[in-house]
Structure 1
Amino acid sequence: MKLSILDQSPIRIGQEPQHALVESVELAKAADRLGYTRYWMSEHHDLKGLASSAPEVMLSYIGAQTKRIRLGSGAVLLPYYKPYKVAEVYNTLSTMLPGRIDVGLGRAPGGGTDVMTTLSDNFLQQAFNMPALVEELLHFLQYKERVDTTTLKAAPLPLVPPVPWILGTSKKSALLAAKYGMPYAFGQFMSAKDPGEVLHEYRMNFQPHQAQHHPKALLTVSVICAETDEKAKELALSAIAWNIQSERGENKAGLLPIREAKEYIDKLKDSQVKAEIEKKILIGSPRTIKHKLKSMQDAYQVDEFMIVTFIPSLEERLQSYTLLANEIINKKTS
């Protein structure tokens, strides 16, 4: 079982965005040491509590301070951008960091209506044209031959091209990945849909590609890990409060500390909301989390999980990832 990390650069209450980004660098360096397969950074715009608006900038900085871990976007919100420029950026990263760059692609707006209209004059139309945008980008990433006769290149051309992924939570995104023979990442942490049905569609419709002969999929899951199940449940309160606030549009300043998160949750009159959120998060000790991931691995036939961990304390967030790595990645068997 492979483990990877999706980082959204969460900002704690009272914390400056700079500190959140510095903590992202520390997380990536730790992931590199611990044996995680990938570190991806998400792209969000004007969302209170998240500092990850320009992952491509951070990836170059992180790449200079890590040695082997794959780095990528989770995801480039392609309807906002020209595929040619995206290819130039990630080809440059791959030229500097050969064999280490992924390009995760998504069609979500990553922010509110104001973001959509400010970043793009025609976001909805471009989102509708997502398949054409993907096909054009694949050409410039040297992943797919183009049918026309253009000789335009997205220089610099790396010796090892970046690997494009489709990220999504629907059959539509899965079928798009399958059509072009691309790896697929299902965002279970942000979806109530059954991954099994979506991944089945992906595998059944996958068209082999010279760079990807077989379907390859991972699941992105929310995880809170601590030494004991009880401690993990306590640490999870901030993530639970964050999710509830997000659904209600109440995220104003960032991640709540544990005590304040507990007070916020205790004041909720509808306990069912908390229960529904808890279902989306894997909470427990290393052994508990390993058992849960193994069950999901058997059910969905994936060999890689991308972990999202929302804990206000950097020390405890790093410990969560360390405990998982020691239990799953680096544990020696007799």
Structure 2
Amino acid sequence: MKLSILDQSPIFYGETEGDALQSSKELAVLADRLGYTRYGVTEHHDLEHVACPAPEVLLSYIGAHTEEIRLGAGAILLPHYQPYKVAEVFHTLATLFPGRIDLGLGRAPGGSAEATTALSPRFLEEVRKMPEKVEELLRFLNHDFPKDHMFHSVEARPVPNQRPEPWLLGTGKKSALLAAEYNMSYAFGYFMSDHDGRELLNTYRINFVGERPYTILAVSVICSETTARADELAHWTHVVNEARTKGEKALISVEEAKRVSLPKYKTKLISGTFEAVKQKLMTLEEKYEPDELMITTIMPNREERLTSYQLLGEAIEKE
């Protein structure tokens, strides 16, 4: 089972944004030691419960404290930025950490309407340009503009010996087709999509223009030492998510969450002891046939988040 991590840099109950960024570094060091394949950092803007609006900055810090694990954005929200600048940033990272840098791309706004406008006043127009921006970015990474193109002589420096590995994070047909057209790996955001996803992954595979398509399934997981604690943490997660959708206070303790009753809900969250989680992940593998599972885990505290990833990571070492 090939496992990776998608880190949203959550702010834990009773902690600060600075604590959250340090927790991301701490988790990356653990993941590096346990043999996780890659470590992706998400991009969000002006949200009270997550701490990283600039993945490239956090990745440089994490890179200095890790040795082998691949590092990347999951994902840079390309409509906000010029492709040339993104290429320069990730070429710099790839120069600092050779053979370890990924460049995940997405098209979501990553924050409120006001924050989105502050970043990109013509965001919807830039979203419509996503295919063109992806092509331009890939050409800057590869330095292969046609000779008659205005950017033919422009290079995104520094030039690394191994370029960043691009992939696309998405939940819809457009992203699947775009990844296939440009010979990119495709990560399906299973945990944040109402779609089943199998049709999208098959669409990507069928339309892929390169030698071998590569798929990643991004899944939300809570792994605990007991079923009872896993159930409490899963309930906390649903209470917090419900509060966020209503714009209410979301940074609460497990004890506070226990006092909140919720109607029966359908969820894609996978929770339980290691054996239970492993069986559920194996079922997902059989159903979706991904090349890799990317795990995201939101907990009320850093200790239990580390435990969750450690329980899964120790299984990697045993295989």
TM class, shorter-length: over 0.9
TM-superposed CA distance for 1:244, in Å, is 1.4
Q: 2:85 corresponds to which residue?
A: 85
Superposition map of 1:289-304 within 5 A: 289-304=277-292
- 1:298-324 Cα deviation digits (max 9, x unpaired): 111113111111111211110100101
Q: Secondary structure at the match of 1:249?
A: coil
TM-superposed CA distance for 1:330, in Å, is 1.4
TM-superposed CA distance for 1:255, in Å, is 3.2
Unaligned runs of 5+ in 1: none
**1: CA distance between counterparts of 2:206 and 2:136?**
24
Q: Secondary structure at the match of 1:330?
A: helix
Q: Secondary structure at the match of 2:259?
A: helix
- Cα RMSD (Å): 1.2
TM-superposed CA distance for 1:246, in Å, is 2.5
Q: 1:160 corresponds to which residue?
A: 162
- Which stretch has the larger CA shift, 4-13 or 32-41? 4-13
Superposition map of 1:297-312 within 5 A: 297-312=285-300
Q: Please say if residues 12 and 257 of structure 1, whose CA atoms lie closer than 8 Å, have aligned partners that are also in contact.
A: no
Aligned residues: 316
Q: 2:256 corresponds to which residue?
A: 260
Instruction: Choose the corresponding residue for 2:247, options 220, 241, 249.
Output: 249
**2: CA distance between counterparts of 1:312 and 1:22?**
16
Q: Secondary structure at the match of 1:76?
A: strand
Q: Please say if residues 12 and 302 of structure 2, whose CA atoms lie closer than 8 Å, have aligned partners that are also in contact.
A: no
Q: Please say if residues 13 and 301 of structure 2, whose CA atoms lie closer than 8 Å, have aligned partners that are also in contact.
A: no
Normalising by the residue count of structure 2, what TM-score does the alignment of the two structures yield? Answer: 0.96
Query: 2:189 corresponds to which letter in structure 1?
Result: G
| 2:109 is equivalent to residue 113 of structure 1 | no
Q: Please say if residues 5 and 40 of structure 2, whose CA atoms lie closer than 8 Å, have aligned partners that are also in contact.
A: yes
- 1:147-166 Cα deviation digits (max 9, x unpaired): 34411000001000000111
Unaligned runs of 5+ in 2: none
Q: Secondary structure at the match of 1:23?
A: helix
Q: Please say if residues 13 and 255 of structure 1, whose CA atoms lie closer than 8 Å, have aligned partners that are also in contact.
A: yes
**2: CA distance between counterparts of 1:238 and 1:103?**
32
**1: CA distance between counterparts of 2:230 and 2:16?**
26
Runs of 4+ aligned structure 1 residues displaced above 3 Å come to none
| 2:313 is equivalent to residue 317 of structure 1 | no
**2: CA distance between counterparts of 1:242 and 1:132?**
37
Instruction: Choose the corresponding residue for 1:228, options 219, 226, 229.
Output: 226
Query: 2:96 corresponds to which letter in structure 1?
Result: M
- 1:235-261 Cα deviation digits (max 9, x unpaired): 2222212221232232x4x53211112
Q: Secondary structure at the match of 2:318?
A: coil
Q: 1:281 corresponds to which residue?
A: 269
Query: 1:331 corresponds to which letter in structure 2?
Result: K
- 1:26-62 Cα deviation digits (max 9, x unpaired): 0110000111111111000011111011111000010
| 2:44 is equivalent to residue 44 of structure 1 | yes
Query: 1:138 corresponds to which letter in structure 2?
Result: L
Q: Please say if residues 11 and 50 of structure 1, whose CA atoms lie closer than 8 Å, have aligned partners that are also in contact.
A: yes
Superposition map of 1:1-334 within 5 A: 1-142=1-142, 145-147=144-146, 148-149=148-149, 150-208=152-210, 213-250=211-248, 252=249, 254-264=250-260, 266=261, 268=262, 271-272=263-264, 275-276=265-266, 279-327=267-315, 329-332=316-319
Q: Please say if residues 46 and 111 of structure 1, whose CA atoms lie closer than 8 Å, have aligned partners that are also in contact.
A: yes
Q: Please say if residues 215 and 290 of structure 2, whose CA atoms lie closer than 8 Å, have aligned partners that are also in contact.
A: yes
**1: CA distance between counterparts of 2:102 and 2:160?**
13
**2: CA distance between counterparts of 1:76 and 1:214?**
24
TM-superposed CA distance for 1:119, in Å, is 0.5
TM-superposed CA distance for 1:120, in Å, is 1.1
- 1:108-154 Cα deviation digits (max 9, x unpaired): 00001101110012111000100000000001111x73234411000
Q: Please say if residues 181 and 215 of structure 1, whose CA atoms lie closer than 8 Å, have aligned partners that are also in contact.
A: yes
